[in-house]
Structure 1
Amino acid sequence: MLPESDEIQSSASKRELLCQQWQLCLLAISFFTRIPVNMAVDVTAKMLNEASRYFALVGVLIGIISALAFYLSAMYLPTEIALLVAMASSVLLTGAFHEDGWADVWDGFGGGWSIENKLNIMKDSRLGTYGAAALFFILMIKYQALLALIQQNMPNVNLINDGLSVLSILVLGHCLSRVLATSLIADMPYVSEDATSKVKPLAQALSNNSYITLLATGTFILLITLSFSVIWKLVVILLLTRWCLKRWFMQQLGGYTGDCLGAAQQFSEVVIYISLLALTSASI
C-alpha cells in the first residue's frame, strides 16, 4: 500500500489532470460554438492546440442540440420545416463558422490565380459569386440528403443497427466531419500569412494523445450507431474523402488554412449523409 501522503498526492494529481482536461473541453466548446463558457485559466496557444482532441466531442454536442431542435419542432410543424429548424440551430450554435470557411474557400480557389491572391480573397469578408453558389448548393444537398434519411429511417429509433434515428444521423454527421477536418492538421502545413487568424495556434502538428482521443471519439460514435457492415464502408469513403480534400488543398495552396478546415467539415458532413443514405438503402 502507498503511504497516506503519497495517496493524497496521487489523488491531487488526478484531480488536477481532470481539471486540466475539463478546461480543454470548455475551450473546444468556446472555439467552435457561441455557447458561453467560463475559463478558470488564461488561454494559451498550446492549450488551444491540445483542445483539438475534443473537437469531435463538440460535434456530438452540436448534433444532440440539433436533434433536440428537430424533435421539438416536429411536434408542431411538418418534418420538412422541422429539419430546417434543426439546420438553422446548428448554424446559430456555431455562428456559421464552418459555412463561412466553405464559402471563402470557393471564392479564393475560384477567383484567385496565385497562392497569395487566393489567400487575400479568402480573408476578404465579402461574399463572392463562387462562395454564394457553393454555399447554396452545399446547404441544399445537405437538406435533401437529411430529409431523405429521416423519411427512410424515421420509424426506427434503435441506434444499434442500420436503421438510423434523427439523433444518430446528426451526431454522426457533426462528429465524424470534425474528426476528418481536424485530422488534416496532423499532416499538412499551415499556409495562411495572417498572424491574427483564429486558427493560427492549431498550425502545430497534433500530439499523439490528441489524435488518439479524436479518433477514439469518432470510433465510439460509429460503434454505438451503426453495424460493422456499414461502418467499414463508411470509413473507407471518409478516408477517400480525406485524401481528395488534402490533395485539393495542397494543389491550391500547398497546405491548409482555417477556412480549409471549415470547408472540409462541411463537405465531409454532406458526404456522410449521402453515404448513409446509399448504404442504408442498400441494406434494406
Structure 2
Amino acid sequence: MWNRFFSTLSLTSRIPLKVRFSFDPSRIDFYLPLIGIFPALLGALVFFLGGPGFITVILVLLVQYLGFNLFHLDGLADTADAFLGNFDQEKRLAILKDSRMGVYGFFACFFLLTLKIYLLYRLCVWIPRFPAAILAYPFSGRLSAALIPGISKPLKPDGLGALAKNARPWRGVTGALIGLSLWAVLVYGGLKVYGFFNGSGVQAPPLSALSLFGLPLLSPLISWALARQYQKHLGGYSGDTLGAAVELGELLHLGGALGLLTILDI
C-alpha cells in the first residue's frame, strides 16, 4: 500500500520524499484522487492565514503549482499545442514529444490561470463559509485524470500514460470518495478547534449548500472529452492527457462552484 501511495505522490509532486519505497505505480488510478488532499490542504492553509483577497488567491495558486501542478500545467500546454492547430497525426505526436511550448500552449496556460485567479477571487466571499466544498477542486482535477485510463487505452506501451494502463474507473471514484471524506473531516475539525480557541462556533451549511459536494461529479465530462480527442486523433491517451485533465477538472470545479452559489444565492 505505502509503495503505491508514495510512488503516485512522487510522480505528481515536486516535493522531495525523504522515505524509502519500492516504485509501484500500479494503483495510480486509486491514489491520484486521494493525493488531492495535499494541494487542497496547502491551499486552505494559505487562504486562511492570508484572509480573503486578491494577493491571497495568487499565493494559494503559487504554492499549489510550485508543489504539485506545474507538471500538470505542462500537460495542458502540450495538449493545446497538439490539438488547437490543424495538424496531422504525425505532427501532433512530434509536438507532444517536443519540450518547447508553442503559442497555443502559452495561450491555454495564460487563459486557464487567469480564469482560476478570477474564479477563486469571486469565490472569496463564500470560501470562509463553505471551505471544504469550494477548496476541494484538487480532488476533482485528479479524479478527471484518474478516470481516463479506465475508459481509454495508452498511446504507447511505455511512458507515464502506460503506468496506469490497468486502471479501473471504480478505483478512481473510490479514491476520490475516501480523500474527500478525510478532507471534510480535517476541515471541519480544524474549524471546530479554531472556534473553540477564539470563542466562535462552526455553523453547519444549509442543505442547499450540500449540493456543492457534488461538484466532483463534473469530472467525467473532462475525462470523456480529452480521452475522446486523444483516441480519435492519436489512438490513445498519454501522460499529457492526464496533466491536462487535472487542470481542466480543477477549473470546471471552480466554475461550477461559482455558478451554483450564484444560483442558490446563499
Common fold by TM > 0.5: yes
- Of 137, 160, 165 in structure 2, the residue corresponding to residue 198 of structure 1 is 160
- The answer as to whether partners of 2:78 and 2:240 remain within 8 angstroms in 1 is yes
- Of 21, 24, 32 in structure 1, the residue corresponding to residue 12 of structure 2 is 32
- The answer as to whether partners of 1:176 and 1:218 remain within 8 angstroms in 2 is no
The answer for the alignment partner of 1:244 in structure 2 is 225
The answer for the alignment partner of 2:178 in structure 1 is 217
Q: Deviations over 1:42-61 (max 9, x none)?
A: 32xxx212243111121111
The answer for the alignment partner of 1:169 in structure 2 is 134
Q: Which amino acid aligns with 2:27?
A: E
The answer for the alignment partner of 1:282 in structure 2 is 263
Structure 1 spans left out of the alignment, 5+ residues: 1-20, 157-163
CA distance in 2 between partners of 1:55 and 1:108 (Å): 25
Q: Deviations over 1:7-53 (max 9, x none)?
A: xxxxxxxxxxxxxx12322222211112222443432xxx2122431
The answer for the alignment partner of 1:189 in structure 2 is 153
Residue pairs, 1:9-48, within 5 angstroms? 21-43=1-23, 47-48=24-25
For the aligned residue pairs, the C-alpha RMSD in angstroms reads 2.7
The answer for the alignment partner of 1:56 in structure 2 is 33
CA distance in 2 between partners of 1:228 and 1:90 (Å): 25
Shift of 1:280: 1.5
Q: Deviations over 1:137-165 (max 9, x none)?
A: 000011101111113x1452xxxxxxx22
Give the percent of matched residue pairs that are identical in Structure 1 and Structure 2.
27
CA distance in 1 between partners of 2:223 and 2:56 (Å): 31
CA distance in 1 between partners of 2:42 and 2:25 (Å): 24
Scaled by the length of structure 1, the TM-score of the pair is: 0.76
Q: Which amino acid aligns with 2:45?
A: L
Distance 1:231-1:210 versus aligned 2 partners, 3 A rule: closer
- The answer as to whether partners of 2:72 and 2:240 remain within 8 angstroms in 1 is yes
CA distance in 1 between partners of 2:232 and 2:118 (Å): 31
- The answer as to whether partners of 2:149 and 2:168 remain within 8 angstroms in 1 is no
* Residue 65 (str. 1) matches residue 27 (str. 2): no
- The answer as to whether partners of 1:179 and 1:218 remain within 8 angstroms in 2 is no
Shift of 1:198: 3.4
Name the larger-Rg structure.
Answer: 1
CA distance in 2 between partners of 1:155 and 1:223 (Å): 14
The answer for the alignment partner of 1:273 in structure 2 is 254
Give the SS at the match of 2:36: helix
The answer for the alignment partner of 1:5 in structure 2 is none
* Farther-moved stretch of structure 1 (181-190 vs 209-218): 209-218
Q: How many residues align?
A: 244
Q: Which amino acid aligns with 1:198?
A: L
Scaled by the length of structure 2, the TM-score of the pair is: 0.81
Shift of 1:79: 1.1
CA distance in 1 between partners of 2:220 and 2:146 (Å): 13
* Residue 121 (str. 1) matches residue 95 (str. 2): yes
- The answer as to whether partners of 1:183 and 1:211 remain within 8 angstroms in 2 is yes
Give the SS at the match of 1:49: coil
Structure 2 spans left out of the alignment, 5+ residues: 188-204
The answer for the alignment partner of 1:81 in structure 2 is 55
